Amino acid sequence: MRLDRSLTLHLFRPLQSIGLRSGGSHLPILMYHSISDTPEPGFSPYHKVCTSPRRFAEQMQGLAETGWQGVTLREGLDVLAGKRQIAGRPVAITFDDGFHDFYTAAFPVLKQHGFAATMYLPTAFIGDDRRSFKSRACLNWSEIRELHRTGIEFGSHTVNHPILYDLSWPEIERELVLSKGPIEQKLGEPVSSFAYPYAFPQEDGPFTKTFMELLRGSGYRNGVTTVVGRAKPDDNPLTLKRLPANDCDDLALFAAKLAGAYDWLAGPQGWSKAARRRLRARSRRGPDSRSPLPSFHPAKPPQNSSS
């Protein structure tokens, strides 16, 4: 039995139906990775990162039939802030890792429904030639420019996709800054969005505070994480929550996530991370050895231009 699904559908969704839900506006931000039939043996349903083309098409059809409009993160945040209006309910559709199957399997489905999306690129694995990441082919710059012309938004997912929490501050800053340059150069406009790779350590307040300062200083206006939940108008735009989506999300669970019945998982997720962090701290021989920030100055982003 999948516990998170059972609690979502049989406890938290019914509580919503009788009015025990949080009020106010929310923006669901879906988090996808690979749209493929790649098997993932040994991974729990929660941790799978592949969504079959059939399941993805089913999910997008479900959005269209229930009045959702797939948008970029930038568009979704504008709607959430009251700066933009759209015909349907906004759902930001995001993809991490820059896999080529976005071009072959996801984009045709998005185009069919008139949906947009945001793709986050780990730039060391993106080139004019075809490169691979995690044994999967990645987009090349020609495809990225083509997608960008159709309205797909691109953001940074670092250069090398490291576990940032394990790096020094100078190394972290370089991953933030040096990943922007190639995308800005190829697309001719500033990169304003960042996706944090791996688990975001929201339980570590000092790390999160310094990291957000680095994001701002590097020119980012918003950022998404792996913390579960939907975005609210008063959330910090640099540490936005997302809803993981994969092949194990049937339409019932998918709809419940969009409605907010999956937001409860942020609590257990945070407690688990905090417990692991305490165990990790005990195993260290000394205090945090991250070196202080260097005098590293980001390059000025290019002005907006046509691509």
Per-residue pLDDT reduced to its tens digit, 42-75: 999 999 999 999 999 999 999 999 999 999 999 9
Q: Is the pTM of this model over 0.85?
A: yes
Contact 27, 79 (CB under 8 A): yes
Phi first, then psi: what are they for 132, rounded to 5°?
-130, 150
* Rounded mean pLDDT, 250-262: 97
CATH number at residue 244: 3.20.20.370
In this predicted structure, what is the pLDDT of residue 300? 47
> Is 47 within a domain?
yes
Query: Which pLDDT band, with edges at 50, 70 and 90, does 283 fall under?
Result: low
> Is 293 within a domain?
no
> Is 296 within a domain?
no
Q: Which domain holds residue 141?
A: 26-283
In this predicted structure, what is the pLDDT of residue 17? 78
In this predicted structure, what is the pLDDT of residue 281? 65
> Is 193 within a domain?
yes
Query: Which pLDDT band, with edges at 50, 70 and 90, does 306 fall under?
Result: very low
The pLDDT of residue 175 is above 50: yes
Residue 116 in tokens: 């947009």
* Rounded mean pLDDT, 151-166: 98
In this predicted structure, what is the pLDDT of residue 21? 55
Please tell me the total count of domains within the chain: 1
> Is 292 within a domain?
no
Helix or strand run (H / E) with residue 75: helix 73-80
The DSSP bridge pattern shows strands 29-32 and 240-244 to be parallel
Cα–Cα distance for residue pair 280/205, rounded to 1 Å: 16
Cα–Cα distance for residue pair 46/49, rounded to 1 Å: 9
> Is 213 within a domain?
yes
Query: Which pLDDT band, with edges at 50, 70 and 90, does 158 fall under?
Result: very high
> Is 16 within a domain?
no
Instruction: State pLDDT tens for residues 67-105.
Output: 999 999 999 999 999 999 999 999 999 999 999 999 999
> Is 300 within a domain?
no
Q: Of 299, 95, 78, 271, which Cα lies nearest the Cα of 180?
A: 299
In this predicted structure, what is the pLDDT of residue 90? 98
SS (H, E, C) 269-297: HHHHHHHHHHHHHHHCCCCCCCCCCCCCC
Residue 297 in tokens: 């100055």
The pLDDT of residue 201 is above 80: yes
- Give how far the C-alpha of residue 221 lies from the chain's centroid of Cα atoms, to the nearest Å: 14
